[in-house]
Structure 1
Amino acid sequence: MAIQRLTSVLLGAAGTLLVLDSSLVAKAACTFLPPVGGDGSSKIVKKRVGKGKLLGRTNWNTDFAVNRPYRSYKLFFTADSTATGTYPVEAFLKFTDGSNLRVVKESLTPPIGQGRMFGPFTVPQGKQMKQVNFKIGAGSDPNSTGFSYRISVQGCN
């Protein structure tokens, strides 16, 4: 089989032949963004919901560095343990001019192993991305304390 162009051939559900040009597929390519302050070994951050801030800092905020411009961003969340309470999940696109845009504001109680993708979110015209921020906390429900989760962010062309 001599195919010089990168073309994917698929058999459709009704037996029809589908041809996908690789230039269309390449535009949807996504890359995981590195967490700020990470050690470089993983692009997935694992955390546990803690109590509110008494002294020092909470672990509620996690930033992911935007190392180059992307057309859109996808945010991923997966529950690693169960929780009997609900907890707030917020996400922000942070820009080089110091402003930000909240793109997620929800209260969740997902079962273990359940994931969720938020987005894709596009950057407002005239803005340049700097970071994507996840903020996941116990809020006012003490039953969510101790809940563990994984988060990651992808930049997509």
Structure 2
Amino acid sequence: EPGLLVVQVTQETPFSGYAGNKEISEKKLLRNVFVKGDVYFDTGDLLVMDQNGFLYFSDRVGDTFRWKGENVATIEVSEIIGMMDFVQEVNVYGVSVKNYEGRIGMAAIVLKPDQPFDGERLYKHVVDFLPSYAQPRFVRIMIMKEE
């Protein structure tokens, strides 16, 4: 069963926060977890333990996924893809691929009416704007049904 990796914040293991973003830094801190007054840093990583007590990365919590040892923020990838003139909506998420650790990017795209999908332009765009680990490897074109 996966469990959340938290790290106790102490004088020996301080958490200095995210540079310039006190609000997000505070959201990553869990207080009074085991005893009143304790503080833990929420890594967002889910781990599993095998029968020998070894821990392995399983997944990420929230709007990120992990691929090739890197955390991918789905919102950032969605914003880059959403810049394309033929994209009406986009949702990016990680999917499991057999024999690979972590999750790889999938972009579900709704096209603007009367706009054709241009895979070559999309490919060039994500290569120009995203690091290789964040580039979605799968694209799903979604059809919006009119009611």
TM-score normalised by length of structure 1: 0.28
Higher relative contact order (CA 8 A, sep 6+): 1
TM-score w.r.t. the length of structure 2 is: 0.29
